[in-house]
Chain A
Amino acid sequence: MIAQAIFYVLAVLTVGSSAIVAFSRNIVRSTFALLGAFMGVVGIYVLLAADFVAMIQLLVYVGGILVLTLFAVMLTQGIADVTISNRAVGRLPALIISAVAAGIMIFAVFRTPWRQSARIIVAPTTYGIGNAFLGPYALPFELASIVLLAALIGAVVISRPLDRGVSNRLSNEE
């Protein structure tokens, strides 16, 4: 009963914040509204007794991704007076794509046989996750880290002033 009430509060927080993200005319406010969405998801994870995932969600999304997004948005020129809205751009394709996406999601929600446990088992999940990562799922885990490493190296290569590096090397050779 109480758990259900808490769930609806968290759901309203998540969906409401996401609506602000999507509809706010001010891009910085949109970014800050992401905080509410992320926190709502953290709450839902806690409600599902997924303690480790909840903490990682908080650490990675709020502490990392949200801050990086804010960083990027705030360093953009003239961010305070963004008046361009994408409301008038490509209405028809947007409508079709979002209708199809929504249709697929609704279809999936109603067709999935949701299994519900009789009661919530609050048990530590960290050991299980750790063993799964280093046991049966070691290869996918390593592949994901290789993808991340490639992305990191790519970011360094792109953001580095290449010209200066090349000219320095040339002048050193002379």
Chain B
Amino acid sequence: MQQLADSLIAQGMFGANPPRDLIYALFIFVFSLIVFLGIAFPFAGIVSWVERRVWARMQSRCGPNRVGPNGFLQWLADGLKHICKEDLIPADSDPALFKFAPYLVILAFTLPWAVMPFSSQLILADLNVGILYMTSVTALTVVGVLMAGWASNDKWSLIGGIRSAAQIVSYEIPAGLSIFPAVLMAGTLSMQGIIKAQGWAPWTWFAFSNPFTFIAANVLYISALAEGNRTPFDLPEAESELVAGFATEYSGMRYLFFFAAEWGNLFIIGAIITTLFLGGWQFPLISNNAVVMNVLQLITFNIKVLFLVFISVWVRGTLPRVRIDQLMSLCWKYLVPISFVDLVGTAAWIAIWPSGNSVAPWIMLALFLAIVVTFLRRVLHYFRRSKMELYLSPTI
């Protein structure tokens, strides 16, 4: 951003002796607005529609298909409906905290976009501690959720809030530890630095560079789903047990804030994993034109992120919710030890092969493809055996 502002100042767009600080601030403000109003919140809305459509097809239903082409404008209709609803605040609640909680959750959702590396130049701030910033600001969500749970003065909300706190605090440990293998490989905490340490080809991605990072990428995805309160880890808002968990007493726009943040967080989860393990925006250098390259990188980054978002929708449509004790034992008995082994193993790997092993990426990639092929073969086997009729047309 600063380079762009500097080049515009040099062209004399802001007069002869411009106030540089204010112009930088203006640039950051304008680009933040573009990112939030153009990307973050529309994404949260559209993914809510995509999710309902995809689930519906997975469960032999139609899903929302009335508003706009294929129901595409459903998210706008939902938003409008929630704005028009009455804003109820329970009489026995703590009104100040009750009103403040959704803002905290939205704040935790908007802050990570500052270091979102869309392409080699499209990034608001390439912080030196980018990935650390991303993981620490998302930790604000849990405070908002706890505040909502307590301020509602409702047993369901309180249990939802406490469950959420226990879950997020637990899963932050494997998630945090799984970030560090990639940081060790790259030798930097900056988002752009980590991406630049990888290449465009899958065998240069950190996910496949050694067995430990391969496992770390998977552990990070599972932990990130749990931190984002996604099924199969959505115990804080388990409908069958807690009505809507911490959001039970909320209505209208405040309710929507929680769920906009939850859906929007899918993009952030995808972006963290894409940046750390899947090569980020890296694209083969086919043009010297900076604009063309940036657009190609933007598309690459978004395709990777949206694929991970689709996987999480798929998981939500497929797996049942886990019990709270299963949730805790998965985290503390399996993911935490595994991520410790990953961290130490990656460090040892770097100590043995400081410039990287040339064979391991191919073996890991072959292993990954073998897993994918096995999965596809099993799916096809069930398709053939059950002789089901497939309605593959996405438009019903």
Contact = CB atoms under 8 A, between A and B. Distances in A.
Interface of A: 2, 26, 28-29, 32, 35, 51-52, 55-56, 58-59, 62-64, 66-68, 70-71, 74-75, 80, 124, 126
Contact of A55 (B104, B133, B140, B172): B133
Given A35-B143, A55-B136, A63-B139, A74 B129 contact: no
Interface residues of B, number: 31
Contact of B139 (A32, A59, A70, A75): A59
A62 B150 contact: no
Interface stretch (B4-12, B71-79, B160-168, B338-346): B160-168
14 contacts: A51-B128, A55-B129, A58-B139, A59-B139, A62-B143, A63-B136, A63-B140, A64-B139, A67-B142, A70-B146, A71-B162, A74-B158, A74-B161, A126-B129
Overall SS of chain A's interface: helix
A67 B170 CA distance: 11
A75 B149 CA distance: 12
Contacts of B21: 2
Contacts of B129: 51-52, 55, 126
Given A51-B128, A80-B153, A126-B189, A63 B172 contact: yes
B169 A67 contact: yes
Contact of B169 (A52, A68, A124): A68
Nearest to B21: A2
A62 B139 contact: yes
Interface of B: 21, 94, 97, 104, 127-129, 132-133, 135-137, 139-140, 142-143, 146-147, 149-150, 153, 158, 161-162, 165-166, 168-169, 172, 176, 189
Nearest to A28: B150
A32 B128 contact: no
Contacts of B168: 67
A56 B137 CA distance: 11
Nearest to A60: B136
A126 B190 CA distance: 11
A70 B133 CA distance: 23
Contacts of B140: 62-63
Given A55-B129, A71-B166, A75-B162, A29 B139 contact: no
Contacts of B127: 51
A124 B142 contact: no
B166 A74 contact: no
Nearest to B190: A124
Contacts of B137: 58
A72 to B, nearest CB: 11
B169 A29 contact: no
Contact of B143 (A26, A51, A67, A126): A67
B143 A124 contact: no
A37 B348 CA distance: 40
Nearest to A2: B21
Contacts of A71: 146, 162, 165-166, 169
Contact of A32 (B133, B147, B176): B147
A151 to B, nearest CB: 16
Contacts of A66: 143
A70 B162 CA distance: 9
